[in-house]
Structure 1
Amino acid sequence: MHSKAYSIIEATKKLERYCAYQDRCHKEVIDKLKGMRMIPEAIDQIVIHLIQKNYLNEERFAKSFARGKFNIKKWGKNRIINELKLRQISRFNIATALKEIDTQTYDDTLDVLAKKRLAQLTESDIQKKRKKLADYLLYRGWESDLVYRKLRELIPNT
């Protein structure tokens, strides 16, 4: 299998389109350039160009990532934080991104998600039902204190 050799100009144009299509983080761009077999000096030059021309902006990426994963996938803050860390986003940008999520909307979303999941559970054993609901919400990245408060509200100890 032959992979195409790219000039810096071709690679830059390709990455401009890649970044214009949707916000990307530095790691995705660097991985893409490595996949195009670009040398480190060329990668640095292209990344600098993309930042200067505002194709690449980690803060903007982090904000749109957090908004999207919360609004569309209903992820909690822990899952969003972990996914941003995997993409090597700075603590500062992660904190900024989480401010995009309105506190009231966050609480309301947890409530809707928990009630919807609870309605789907057919488990008759109360403890097992609580565990299944907790596992589901924790996996989606909701903070444990919020999850356990919601469990006490929705499935009180009888």
Structure 2
Amino acid sequence: MDRLLLQKAASYCAYQERTQDEVRQRLQKWGVWGDEAEEIIAELISQNYLSEERFARTFAGGKFRIKQWGRHKIKQELSRRGLTDYTIRQGMSEISDAAYEASLEELLQKKLSTLQRTETDPLKRKQKLIRFALGKGYESELVWRLTEKLLGT
């Protein structure tokens, strides 16, 4: 195993959390394939540079807090990145139910205030509000419940 490549891969992982697939793709870009790539990945895991569980927790927490994504969208993205169901569940544990609901409520209130300036029809306003929240990846029953509560219908 080439120490220079290991050091380069460690720097790549130290910059931000990565999945094994992302590291594998980067190694292939550098011309490293097969067993040598797997050896480097194993070494990165043993040196704690690479942890998919840590990636899932960081990703889920960040997308929820910063971009205010819902659970569906976060799960879908983690799955697309090749993480196991167990790892995805570990990442999703980063989001508390109370904070999740409060975040959606705040998001809906903010969107409603902009819609009230542009949309006069209450039915269209409600539809746009629901579509917006569903697009963010929130569960439909929660969206409906909070929308009804917010609009008082």
User: With structure 1 as the length reference, what TM-score do the two structures score?
Assistant: 0.91
**Corresponding residue for 2:58?**
64
**Corresponding residue for 2:7?**
13
Number of matched pairs: 151
**1:156, distance to aligned residue in structure 2 (A):** 3.8
**Corresponding residue for 2:108?**
114
- Is residue 2:63 matched to residue 1:75? no
CA RMSD, aligned part only? 1.2
User: With structure 2 as the length reference, what TM-score do the two structures score?
Assistant: 0.93
**Corresponding residue for 1:48?**
42
**1:12, distance to aligned residue in structure 2 (A):** 1.1
Unaligned runs of 5+ in 1: 1-6
Give the counterpart letter for 2:124 in structure 1. Answer: K
| Percentage of pairs with the same residue | 38
Give the counterpart letter for 1:134 in structure 2. Answer: I
Query: Residue by residue, what CA displacement relative to the aligned partner does 1:5-45 show, whole Å, maximum 9, x if unpaired?
Result: xx832221111011111111111111111111212122111
**Corresponding residue for 2:19?**
25
Runs of 4 or more above 6 Å deviation: none
For 1:96 and 1:40, locate their aligned partners in 2 and report how far apart those are by CA, in whole Å: 29
Unaligned runs of 5+ in 2: none
- Is residue 2:127 matched to residue 1:131? yes
- Is residue 2:125 matched to residue 1:141? no
**Corresponding residue for 1:86?**
80
Higher helix residue share: 2
Greater CA drift, 76-85 or 30-39:
30-39
**1:155, distance to aligned residue in structure 2 (A):** 2.3
